[in-house]
Amino acid sequence: MIKNVIVSLVFIVVSVFSLASAAQDQEERERPYDASASFGYVGTSGNTDVTTLNTEFLMTYFDENWTHNFVFNTLSSRQDGDAKAERYFIRNKSDYALMDEDRYLYAQASYTDDRFSGFDYQAAVSLGYGQYFLRGDGLDLQGFAGLGYRQNDSKATGSEGEAVLTLGEELDWVISETSSLTQALTFEIGDKRTITTFEIGLESNIVDRISTRIAFQYRNNSDVPPGIKNTDTQTSISLVYTF
């Protein structure tokens, strides 16, 4: 587990410096991307030794009619030397703007490796349609719907595949020059199980490119292996570097 966390941190650090270098080379041109890396850590000692670490890398890349949204995050927690949580998540959503730029087609793929969810992994792909209902003046609200396929792999049930209907919405609100709010709600509805994810985060600038982020995430799986809870929640405070 420690090795995987180290690999994740190295990946984020290398990405930060690589993109920062690229940004310097493009000072005279419009930057084609927005990106950030965040790091959160909680450590307690005494009667109970607990260490919790979460990292996240976000990148949005703009290429003519395309907008590519990449997410990579990890979570690990140990109590008295024993692993209590270990999760890795990666997703990319690529939007293709139509003639009306508030409407788009999209392709999305995601992979989840949660060692304490009862599943070896869950992977999903989908294609669909999205639309911005509000856009501009610091407030963006979009909704999307699509059809796809999800693979669920667990030791209890083996490998299962199912068609899924994806429904979701995302809100981005620039509250002021130093603070912003993001929120997202997604449903992956299949004939075997429905996965619901809700996320909300408040980011406040400290100085230059460094911010703090307070976030809450809710995940519910309607059908899980025996002995596993349906719902996971995560509350985090992280330091964010934007580049």
Question: What residue segments make up the domains of the chain, in order of their start?
Answer: 2-242
Domain 2-242 has CATH 2.40.160.40: yes
Of 5 and 34, the one with more pLDDT: 34
Contacts of residue 166, Cβ cutoff 8 Å, sequence gap at least 6 = 108, 124, 126, 128, 144, 145, 146, 147, 148, 186, 187, 188, 189
Place 211 in a pLDDT band, splitting at 50, 70 and 90. Answer: very high
Amino acid 9: pLDDT: 46
- Whether pLDDT at 112 is above 90: yes
The pLDDT value recorded for residue 118 is 78
Neighbours of 223 (CB within 10 A): 12
pLDDT of residue 10: 45
The mean pLDDT of the chain is: 86
**CB-CB neighbours of 75 under 10 Å:** 21
- Work out the angle at residue 74's Cα, subtended by the Cα atoms of residues 68 and 75, and round it to the nearest 5 degrees: 150
Note the pLDDT of residue 11.
47
pLDDT of residue 14: 45
Q: Are 149 and 167 in contact (CB under 8 A)?
A: no
CA distances from 137 to 60, 61, 66, 141, 172 (A): 19, 21, 22, 12, 11
Q: Summarize the confidence of residues 55-79 as an average pLDDT.
A: 92
pLDDT at position 224, please? Answer: 85
* Torsion angle (degrees, nearest 10) of CA 96, 100, 101, 106: -20
pLDDT at position 48 is: 64
Share of the chain above pLDDT 70, in %: 86
Question: Per-residue pLDDT tens for 32-57?
Answer: 989 999 999 877 676 667 788 999 99
Q: How confident is the model at residue 189 (pLDDT cuts 50, 70, 90)?
A: very high
In this predicted structure, what is the pLDDT of residue 47? 61
- Contact between residue 108 and residue 73 where contact means Cβ atoms under 8 Å apart: no
Bridge partners (DSSP) of residue 25 are: none
Q: Is the pLDDT of residue 31 over 70?
A: yes
